[in-house]
Chains A and B, each alone.
Chain A
Amino acid sequence: MTDADLIIIGAGPAGMAAAISASEAGAKVILLDEQQSAGGQIYRNVGSNHDGRSFLGEEYFEGLKLVEALSRSNVKCEFGTTVWRIEDDLRVVWSRDGVSNISSARHVLLATGAQERPAPFPGWELPGVMTAGAAQILMKSSRLLAKDAVLAGSGPLLYLVAVQLIKAGTPPIAIVETQTMKNAFKASRYLPRAMLASKMLAKGMELLRYIRKSGVSRYTSAKDFQAVQNDDGQLTFSFRTRKRVHQLVTPLVLSHQGVVSSTHISRSLGLAHEWNLSQQAFLPIVDKWGRTKNSRIHIAGDGAGIGGARAAIASGRIAVLDMLFQLGKLSDDQRNQSSTADRALLRQSLAIRPFLDALYYPPKEILAPSGETLVCRCEEIGASTIRQTLNQSGLGPRQIKSSTRSGMGPCQGRMCELPIQGILSSCGKKHLLPKVRTPIKPISLGELASLAERPSTKS
């Protein structure tokens, strides 16, 4: 006997939508998330933000519908639980408050979303440099507003956070953007297709208009980012535009270069992945139902490739239809027919991606850092060390790891893997999928030992 028909990992839009529809279809569902409440990244904490944080925008509060539907459903939600291993027989091992437990299911849906792309530049490890997403998390969860920040990098989230900060009454002192005319030119050929998602395009334009109207300074085609800590703890952030070198003094540099799929769980399962050129990241290989080569494991949402919240919702529900089909609750025809509306939604939401991927393609110096820029923040290893190791012996990522220790710190490669891939490819080498071992998050030995004593714990 299993604990559930379906265990879903991740309570973002993909996981919530999947959980609701599976449970409506009569499936027994367990939903696990390491956050303290449902919402995922985009709708983080939306269920508790009734205090008029309207600066977060209408789109954020749209998440309330899902969160409320989830709480009305029969889905068993377990928050504050970090999944650190999934076994081939679909036993899901999770940790909460220093205690590990195992739940088992007939199907597993990975809906673990994305992380911001690591964006190395000299000084990115200093206190005061954070990601734009981190600043947004602080707004959503703690009502903390960044004071006189500089937003630096590129991507839609950079503009969204800028607008949220302006509306909250704490505008950034500047937005420093890395995208160039060349990016815009390359992106233009995807514009006709992006028109299919005209609402999303319009929203983006609206953000830009708002920023322009606010009078916040914008710099474009910026490069050579550098942050230096001053005696008073402030940062001097410098960069170069076509015309000259600029210096801004600020307490906070909020950096962003788009988001990339989180693949630690899918990789730890030994599932197939491939390098995606336009997203510059590894993506798990799934079929049109989100099904992996293990037919009982599906992946939905940003974890299977970046698509945003609406695509995540659609793909979550589509994956559930395939599971219901496998469980014998739907016929082949029923599955296919029931997916039509969500397929249309998915197609429409994804139509804008090639345009966005080209427009906000990360600059070379961020993808493949050089010089003294730290690549591995945990083990404090600079790009030049990695490049030297690579040149000396013609090694691949695995050897780089063992000879430099990069990727062996607590983040387990989440920050350094992509920059190392970038360095590899800038040296003309092939991308090689870095292995992931469990536990995918550090677990104390005591916790492992106590789990071993209770092998058949039920949730």
Chain B
Amino acid sequence: MKRDSRFKERQEGVETVQMTLDGDIMTAQIGDSVAAAILAYSANPSRHTAMGSPRAAYCMMGVCFDCLVEVDGRPNVQGCMTLVREGMVLRRQNGLRPISGVQADD
């Protein structure tokens, strides 16, 4: 079930783009990040963790990685650092996706 956004509905008058989120049509404003567009669209989680807990964007500035989303088939994209584009195909990620190139262990 789609829940209403936690944010106030925005005025129109800004150019919009259409995308899909898990197959549903989602409208966003030009200049939105993917994470902002998802927050404006609904209050639902934008992903689930490996242990199944719901998450949504937290910091909006590229720090927390809770906004990870699949964009046009590419997994683990930071939604808050990616601008929306007409026709983008977004999918929420459920569970863990391997993150390549992270070598934070020592």
- Interface of A with B (CB < 8 Å)? 34, 36, 41, 45, 48, 82, 98, 115-116, 125-131, 133-134, 137-138, 141-147, 170, 229, 232-233, 251-252, 377-378, 380, 398, 401-402, 407-415, 435-439, 441-445, 447-448
Contacts and interface: CB of A to CB of B under 8 A. Distances in A.
B39 to A, nearest CB: 7
Interface in B4-39: 6-8, 10-11, 14, 29, 31-33, 36-37, 39
B59 A128 contact: no
Given A142-B40, A145-B8, A127 B46 contact: yes
Nearest to A142: B36
Contacts of A128: 6, 43, 56
B101 A444 contact: yes
Most chain A Cβ neighbours within 10 Å, of B49, B61, B74: B61
Interface string B36-80: 110110011110011101111111111111101000001010001
A141 B104 contact: no
B31 A142 contact: yes
Interface of B: 3, 6-8, 10-11, 14, 29, 31-33, 36-37, 39-40, 43-46, 49-51, 53-66, 68, 74, 76, 80-81, 83, 99-106
B39 A141 contact: no
Contacts, number: 152
A138 B101 contact: no
Nearest to A49: B31
Main secondary structure of the interface of A (DSSP, over half): loop
Given A131-B59, A134-B59, A144 B39 contact: yes
A147 B6 contact: yes
A378 B33 contact: no
13 contacts: A36-B83, A115-B59, A133-B60, A142-B10, A142-B40, A146-B7, A170-B8, A380-B51, A401-B105, A401-B106, A408-B102, A441-B62, A444-B100
B6 A408 contact: no
A300 to B, nearest CB: 19
A442 B106 contact: no
A299 to B, nearest CB: 18
A207 B105 CA distance: 43
Contacts of B10: 142-144
A407 B106 CA distance: 10
